[in-house]
Amino acid sequence: MLQRVALRLRALAAAAALAGFALVLGGAPAAAEPGLWMAKGPHATVYLFGTIHLLKPHQAWESPAVARALAASQELWLEVPDPDDQAEAKKLAAQLGYDPQHPLSSKLAPPDLARLDAAAKSLGIQQGEKAFEPMRPWFVSVALEGALVAHAGYDPNRGVEQLLLHEESLVNKPIHGFETFAQQMHFFSNMSPPLELDLLRNTLHDFAKGSSQLDALVDAWAKGDDTAIARIMVDEVKRPFPELYRTLLVDRNLAWADRIATMLNGSGVIFIAVGAAHLAGPDSVQLALEHKGVAVERIGAAK
């Protein structure tokens, strides 16, 4: 289930690097028309682009509408200003993701340990469950799904944010972040122990359909299918974990909407790229802006 939370996929890259999981290369280019929206102030224009934090090698991601918006923009805003900072990711993971004094086998029931062992070995992790013993339950979910992402042929180090940072039209333009990587990691590390365990059990329960769900998510994103994105990325968190849903999506979307409303009172053209889950569903950034009286227009194809 965690693979369907856009934020968590950023942390996933650090977990995969720590665990040393190999990437499976492959895939072919395909056209994409991901979601893009525009809001206007008296002297400012803000573009909102829904991203996905992992792609298959060579997968297309930039539509003509996105390319035009990037070329017109004078600055870029991401969730965090440097999604490629693996050194910071590893440092935070070491601080927040491990609990060697309380091994995982002392927290999980034998049936869940058996499921974890089978899942790990199916991904080529020969140590099975023992590879995760010193990790906290939330970080086990991240590491396990990091391996699943790689096994399914996706590259967690090739997210749209990383590709944006190499866009020629953005060279020498200021890059900002709404949050820090530490803040994002704390969203998970600050969870209560029972919630951590519930998340891990949910991950294990959904493990068998993980690859197909990933493919469905990426397909929905590439088509700009907001309904499917909401179903896959939003509903699957909101229903079983309302507290985590509020932390990961609702509260952050409201905070970002406040910042964007302030930007619209300024001047210039700003391109904002955040996880697609933040721009879909009943608590999206667009709806938060509309509640503030800001009109938001969808650009390009929409479903």
Reported as a single tens digit per residue, the pLDDT across 11-22 is 333 333 333 332
138 within 8 A of 244, measured Cβ to Cβ: no
Least confident of 9-13, 189-193, 236-240, 281-285: 9-13
152: left (phi over 0), alpha (psi -120 to 50) or beta: alpha
pTM of the model: 0.87
User: Which pLDDT does position 302 carry in this prediction?
Assistant: 52
